[in-house]
Structure 1
């Protein structure tokens, strides 16, 4: 791909430059005067006739080229101008992953406004809080079901003057086609207004507000500027494979979350990546089989469920010889991966075995659509090293990174060929990291947010006078700069005996047993540690079929003595790896599945510990009686 002026391409490897200061100077030079809008302009100029956005309809896949994408953004931006959206005004977006979500986002920016994406699982009260807090003037809403949630709280949103409905029609709303038509009429009277945004919108202007998922209280509005976004892209580029216009990203995580917003929107523009939309999280690997993404992001739960599904399929194979051959290939793959993660080539005999096993690895990856995936990235929550090892055994380079909404998205990444399992890798290019006296990880760099919207006290608590972001995570940094996250400061269990315990560590150890889908360690201000567990539905069904219980419900399996014995083995194996004070004394298997819809998980599948503690308080109390 020919060189272009713009965000740093990543040709210089991590650690190759003399100092953080030099790295920062290079980043600042590469993004000087640039915004998300100028990156979009350049992408359109460079690849106007190539596909940019893809979506699946009833009759198959459809696409917009970069040029068509730009035309839709232009029409929608003029449509917003006709509605009188004020400079710096906020616009809410309540949609699943689809082209109109990104078009509305960019249209708001070109209209000199600020987009605010909402999780499509939000209840009316939560919508009222966020939309009221940012005083949004317009909201883009996907369908009548989502519209109903807005209508339930409209009387509490005096600043919300316009509702744009993407599908269907409803009194008091503007249809998507009507907005575009209004834009066409508006453009005829002010031809240069759209392009003028390229000069009028400055790097320091807001590119978005991203509201945190509110696991510990009301959501905070993280202010990210255009400079933050492009600084993050330049910083993260050094750890990624070289960009190609043939790269394919499968967008399925909520665009209200920083992980997907960055990878599936901003960085897709910077790297000229084609984006394929999957509007249903449950169908992600059904879509992957059709898309063959070249890179794949996912929270640990996504990778855990995929691992459980693959292992269940292997275990269910009625042919013992074929099953044994697959298991042998996975064993070879794991041994090869252990060499490659150290940057070493395997011995000759192992390399020969790997060549024989490669078709098996490829067949398994193809079955879930990851046969062309050059990089998998996991983040947003801790992941068990055994999950990473499993995918490396399939020759799928899955690496763990770390970041947070307040750092735009990223801060560290495990460099390929130098991975250290159990760590989240090294600082991204140009970033500074250090550990405070109380063990808290601090981050400093151009990707650190501007602050929390309308919350100067919260901002001052998060970012100190020297520009260090206080992450709230307890961590260690070794002599080679690898970062190990211990746990969230506020989530550490402190037993009544004064012992500090990481619940995430215990939970990941429990989940090494394929029957354990989710686990929550309990014990804060308690005499000992206990755990709530739920079964993995795929693994439970496979276990039931293999043990003469095919068709038995998840509810009944959660009470099955043999299943409970398996869960006891998970607890026993965990206890062998931790200190006496950390050992799980008692546990309870719940006859449910924890999901974002059921409320125990965030939209990115992290535990909502407060919800779990309240919802299952009686079961927890029983564990201490």
Structure 2
């Protein structure tokens, strides 16, 4: 359980970790021990061509790791060499990760959505010699870099048998050298460089050590509360990109704790993969939960079925909120909840495999209403918070210590505090030491007494729960001098079925406005359910009924803020913000500066006098 303590003269939320990573520990050292101790236990399941899941034991997996490590040594890979990987989440990503660590080198991830220019920056800055590309298409993204980065030598393609081809180069006598390199790797040695998918400028490479990643991977499953979700014998499906620190941490943690992990590389097949894999927990970003809710709402159709779904959705939310009261749900509410379970909730749970009881959400605020809805139907979403620089988790809600609407108390072994200006600060063995080749950014990232500046604004209540209120650099100051954090309004509005993205505006303006984009996947169903003909997103942006629906959603969102902070006018844009058009990062963060720049005329029209 988290406590409020004094740390370096600061009031901080802290949850003690049960294990201190010693200097001699490293990820390949831990995994080698696990492979011996758990040889016949299943560690992964791989999806076959007929959509069944094939178990892989520790004995099988680690034999492949060693074979691939022998091949890497035969290729001349030396300790501290950097190998780039551009791939979706898949079994081979985990395999390369462990094999590269086993030879003392580091795997440097590149998002599969990155352009050649973005990949060039990472390969050059991290001084990568070799790259692993998932497909021929991704190979072609990287290929031009071979000609203009001198130290970049070759690209191997996973779907063209890269694993077998590299493994075939190895010799059995390399085993002694592999063990020597594993034993020589220490906790403070570099494990990886993960480049932040920054919303402005070039991404910074956070240098994460074996201690950083092991600290969070080991202490989470051993926590009395978290062990119910992520402890041994659970089933986890990884859908987020392994280039993201969140998915990479979960993969390592699941291997350590004895869970079985599967991979869902294509978001379009996520629900199908969940149904067949039957996970007990998943990790996801809030947008996935919004999509699940909105899809269930759209599937209800019109008339009685839609009224039934929305009635019992409200019952689920009310029931979950009542769980947090001393008296709990009333007998009448319990009866309504049981009826809702028969008519609505069980159908949604079955759609998600039937065994899914928990999920971990991060990357952006989930929203209190959505959190209560999912807990009310029997799937608790444990919201957490962290950054690339903190090896993923810094706070998380646990089954025994949860407050929906917060991002939870401090993660085991972590410290969280609030600076004088409201910024969230953190400290602990999970926090990185420096950015790659960027001492200026490193110096700016820490306070004089060693606390990491997260750049996020928040507060900590008396029980140690942390609440995110916005980004420090995104604060809007209206012409009247009112400070407005846009995240509160944006997060609430994104929960509406029609809304894809929202940008709240109003810096140095007389009132707050908003730009919104429509969700093209949800739009056709919404139009049908409201008796409207098919139309494009551009046409819908001017449709009176669509505008009225967004206006009602804005009025509901405004209930969470003061009048001075409320949205007075809005415009719906004819396009959406995506990674492809450059307005979203690969980790699905909005590039606010780019939107404000490119849609300046639309913003001015919000403030034009009639």
TM-score strictly above 0.5: yes
**1:146 partnered with 2:138:** yes
Shift of 1:389: 1.6
For structure 1, which segment, 465-474 or 441-450, has the greater mean C-alpha deviation from structure 2 after superposition? Answer: 465-474
For structure 1, which segment, 416-425 or 502-511, has the greater mean C-alpha deviation from structure 2 after superposition? Answer: 416-425
8 Å contact kept, 2:2–2:13: no
Number of aligned residues = 600
Residue deviations 1:26-55 (CA, integer Å, cap 9, x gap):
421x65632211221233223322332233
Task: Return closer, same or farther for 1:217/1:362 CA change in 2, 3 Å cut-off.
Answer: same
Shift of 1:423: 1.8
Runs of at least 4 residues off by over 6 Å:
16-23
Superposed, 1:487-566 pairs within 5 Å as 487-566=470-549
8 Å contact kept, 1:378–1:399: yes
TM-score, length basis structure 2: 0.92
8 Å contact kept, 1:245–1:271: yes
Superposed, 1:315-394 pairs within 5 Å as 316=301, 320=304, 323-341=306-324, 345-360=328-343, 362-394=345-377
| Residue in structure 2 matched with residue 161 of structure 1 by the alignment | 153
**1:43 partnered with 2:29:** no
TM-score, length basis structure 1: 0.90
Shift of 1:404: 0.9
**1:210 partnered with 2:197:** no
| Residue in structure 1 matched with residue 265 of structure 2 by the alignment | 279
**1:116 partnered with 2:108:** yes
Distance 1:261 1:608 in 2: 24
Q: Equivalent of 1:53, from 29, 32, 44? A: 44
Distance 1:21 1:481 in 2: 5
| Residue in structure 1 matched with residue 169 of structure 2 by the alignment | 182
Residue deviations 1:485-528 (CA, integer Å, cap 9, x gap):
11111111122332211111111232343322221111223333
Superposed, 1:324-473 pairs within 5 Å as 324-341=307-324, 345-360=328-343, 362-473=345-456
SS at match of 1:532: strand
Shift of 1:305: 1.3
| Residue in structure 2 matched with residue 232 of structure 1 by the alignment | 216
**1:269 partnered with 2:255:** yes
| Residue in structure 2 matched with residue 76 of structure 1 by the alignment | 68
Task: Return closer, same or farther for 1:109/1:342 CA change in 2, 3 Å cut-off.
Answer: farther
Residue deviations 1:293-333 (CA, integer Å, cap 9, x gap):
1111111111111111111112x166x2x555544443433
| Residue in structure 1 matched with residue 24 of structure 2 by the alignment | 33
Higher RCO (C-alpha under 8 Å, 6+ residues apart): 2
Shift of 1:146: 0.7
Residue deviations 1:215-237 (CA, integer Å, cap 9, x gap):
12211111111111111124433
Distance 1:272 1:244 in 2: 7
| Unaligned segments of structure 1, at least 5 residues | 1-12, 170-174
Residue deviations 1:361-418 (CA, integer Å, cap 9, x gap):
5533334315312311211112221111221221111121111111111111123254
Distance 2:433 2:33 in 1: 26
For structure 1, which segment, 323-332 or 419-428, has the greater mean C-alpha deviation from structure 2 after superposition? Answer: 323-332
Distance 1:427 1:531 in 2: 33
| Residue in structure 1 matched with residue 290 of structure 2 by the alignment | 304
**1:247 partnered with 2:239:** no
| Residue in structure 1 matched with residue 178 of structure 2 by the alignment | 194
| Residue in structure 2 matched with residue 97 of structure 1 by the alignment | 89
| Residue in structure 2 matched with residue 8 of structure 1 by the alignment | none
Distance 1:21 1:388 in 2: 22
Shift of 1:15: 5.0
| Unaligned segments of structure 2, at least 5 residues | none
Cα-Cα RMSD: 2.5
Residue deviations 1:187-233 (CA, integer Å, cap 9, x gap):
x3333122223311111111111110021221111111111111112
Shift of 1:244: 5.3
Q: Equivalent of 1:65, from 54, 57, 71? A: 57
Shift of 1:540: 2.3
